[in-house]
Structure 1
């Protein structure tokens, strides 16, 4: 089975953990062990990942040095794709004993420059702050901010992914038995100019939406959206919360899960299955293999 496994930001970096290379490598090592189980079970694998905390930190570092020379978000996205991809690639090779070929591909994702998301930023990036801290930084840097649980974070535009021009290259690598790490952070957002050439856009594409599109384009049979919770719940964070084990596409689309957390995952899973995918699973990273047999997480199917 060809599996696209999307590592959520919380699966790579727990909330409030420091954004150090050592902490991220330790978390990636845990993720690699879970993904290696999927490969050893005989499945082909494509890995995508989030980058919200990392791209936000790079933006802060750039702004603190020379604000007028800070790199745009598409360039920062490429940098984080390379950094996180390197860690995943190396730890996957270590977990598999160098038995498999692994490659990281910087992946462009085409968006519409007229997407209404550019007028209403919603994508969280960077560290969390108390409200007073966030408002002070927003005033100084011209940010948009929004509440993320009990904390506050910067938000940027998150347009819908329309095309992945590198999908052919990904298929070529898969045909040669390569495990591919790609579309990190939703991919590098670009737009197509009138002459057909591409140019970067100041945005961050939603990782789950890009992963669902990628999975459909390369003919994957399964999409795993891996995070730090057991799956999709009714009554989340209340004494009455109940884990939902199975959802049809119609049931998934009728839900109103939070837009800043589970909502995009449920939407992406439903879209993948409705476009011909066999199953989509949402759940814990360490239960990735069990999700493929329907024994863990929340499974969305036709």
Structure 2
């Protein structure tokens, strides 16, 4: 029995922060819990067939923590790496509890995960990672001036953007491997992981939020996972999104996907992550949360693989 279990493929599931708190929803506990229950239902089905590691986003949640952080002005605001760790604990707890309720026979562990980045990463001077709620332009500009934030357009709305350094190494990878070997469902690298960089005393926190899709790709590569599943609030990768001539990309090669441009703050990192993992030799999938098993079965969503490059040739 144990020998059969070790042969199960590993899938890293990247769960978008916007899939846990939908765009425009009130960022309440009740709304997040409802969405996490939907996520847990989908992931529980995946866990019946695969060994699963879950990497979740935290853009809406860490932005909300930052706003709450500003409400008490008698102390300096906590840095983003600490708020990221808070969001890892909060979302990880909610996910673990709902997954355990769905499949009580499985152990589920949430692991606070540190990821090494460069202290002089270019994103520190050119932030692109959306966090927090959406605003209309007037409110967004007022908040930017009041709090010295950088704001950028996110579709028809405005949102705060923060540095998003590239992940280099998952410091706690061995612990993740140990939990997976014990057939546990593992929630790791939450919010893209806690960004840290090397210093004289070892490591120190970095002010930023790592993109969870890039962190999930790095994790999938370092674990030797066969599949990377990026779940979001879009059913697939689309060309000309939102226009009359929009078209879903279904089965594509990395080279084909690299020909197109996607927004840096939304679909761009997902496409970059999928291309990176496919070029590494794995299969990457992008699709909607409520269609996760169908996406893995390649009956919907977008699949990126070198196999499709061979088919094109």
TM-score after normalising by structure 1: 0.96
2:295 counterpart residue number: 291
Matched, 1:208 2:246: no
Aligned to 2:6: none
- What is the distance in 2 between the residues matched to 1:233 and 1:129? 25
Q: Are the aligned partners of 2:131 and 2:162 in contact in 1 as well (CA < 8 Å)?
A: yes
Query: Quick check: 1:236 aligned with 2:241?
Result: yes
Deviations along 1:211-237, one digit per CA (max 9) or x if unpaired, are 100110011100000012110112211
Which ranges in structure 1 are unaligned for 5 or more consecutive residues? none
Task: Determine which of 26, 31, 36 is the counterpart of 2:34.
Answer: 26
State how many pairs are aligned. Answer: 298
SS in structure 2 of the partner of residue 295 of structure 1: coil
The equivalent of 1:118 in structure 2 is: 124
Give the match for residue 184 of structure 2. Answer: 178
Tell me the residue number matched to 2:139.
Answer: 133
* Distance change in 2, residues 1:106/1:143 (3 Å): same
For 1:79-98, list aligned pairs within 5 A: 79-96=86-103, 98=104
- Unaligned runs of 5+ residues in structure 2 are 1-8, 307-313
Contact 1:216 1:276 in 2 (8 A): no
Give every structure 1 segment of 4 or more consecutive aligned residues whose post-TM-superposition deviation is greater than 6 Å. none
1:46 aligns with 2:41: no
CA distance in 2, matches of 1:52, 1:153: 10
Matches within 5 A, 1:123-272: 123-195=129-201, 197-272=202-277
d(CA) in 2 for partners of 1:135 and 1:253? 34
Deviation at 1:194, TM superposition (A): 3.6
The corresponding residue for 2:77 is 70
> Residues 99-134 of structure 1, C-alpha deviation per residue, up to 9 Å, x if partnerless?
101000000011101111111111111111111111
Post-superposition offset of 1:272: 0.9
SS in structure 2 at match of 1:233: strand
